[in-house]
Amino acid sequence: MNEGISDYRIGIGILEGETAVLKKIAALQDSVRTAVMNRDWADFESLLNSLQEYGAQFEALEAERVRFFSILGETNSAADEKAGFYALTARLPPVERTALTTAYRKLKMETFKMSLINNSLMEYLNETRTAVAAFLEAVFPDRKGRLYSRRGIQKPADMRSMVLNHSF
């Protein structure tokens, strides 16, 4: 029984580790959102590099989590494994079940928070892109959404990133 308890503690540790990394990612994503909205590009690349590092850490922890829960599924019935996380934990002793499900809920909440931060940034970027497209259409109606290269060759208007110098 002692081995089972330590195994569940490993699972709790993995879930708590993922939650900690997600909190760091969410804080960095909020910094990225703020930098984009304030057009502060000085540390933007370092923020993106940090996001990639945390993403790699999260991927490693996620692989551990998948491995752990597949092992947990093997110790219970195959029907429980197909039913999901809560079905897997239903047969655990109450103390282990509570600790594991609490860690899992915290992870889900952090995932939800991060999703909201991402969605707000994507909405801002989409609105900005739409506003810039409308502005360019109003300023250059003869282009009708067409862009041209330096040589005068028409290019598709895929709304790639554009830098506008607004210091006059």
Mean pLDDT across the stretch 47-53? Answer: 90
141 within a domain of the structure (yes/no): no
User: Is residue 45 in a domain?
Assistant: yes
Question: Which helix (DSSP H) or strand (DSSP E) does residue 82 occupy?
Answer: helix 78-83
**Better pLDDT: 29 or 3:** 29
Q: Is 39 part of a structural domain of the chain?
A: yes
In-domain check, residue 153: no
Whether 155 is in a domain gets the answer: no
Domain assignment present for residue 78? The answer is yes
Asked whether the predicted pLDDT for residue 112 surpasses 60, the reply is yes
The CA–CA distances, whole Å, from 19 to 53, 61, 113, 165 equal 15, 10, 11, 40
Does residue 84 come out as left (phi exceeding 0), alpha (psi in the -120 to 50 range) or beta?
left
Is residue 162 pLDDT above 70, yes or no?
Answer: no
pLDDT range class, residue 143, cuts 50, 70, 90 = low
pLDDT tens per residue, range 147-160? 677 787 877 665 55
**Per-residue pLDDT at 21:** 95
Burial of 21 (0-12, 13-18, 19+ CB in 10 A): buried
pLDDT (average), residues 48-69: 91
Q: What burial class does residue 33 get, using C-beta atoms within 10 Å of its C-beta: 0-12 exposed, 13-18 middle, 19+ buried?
A: middle
As a whole number, mean pLDDT of residues 27-49 equals 84
Q: Is residue 126 part of a domain?
A: no
**Residue 40 is part of which domain span?**
2-115
Tell me, yes or no, whether 160 lies in a domain. Answer: no
What type of residue sits at position 164? L
Number of domains the chain contains: 1
Q: In this predicted structure, what is the pLDDT of residue 80?
A: 45
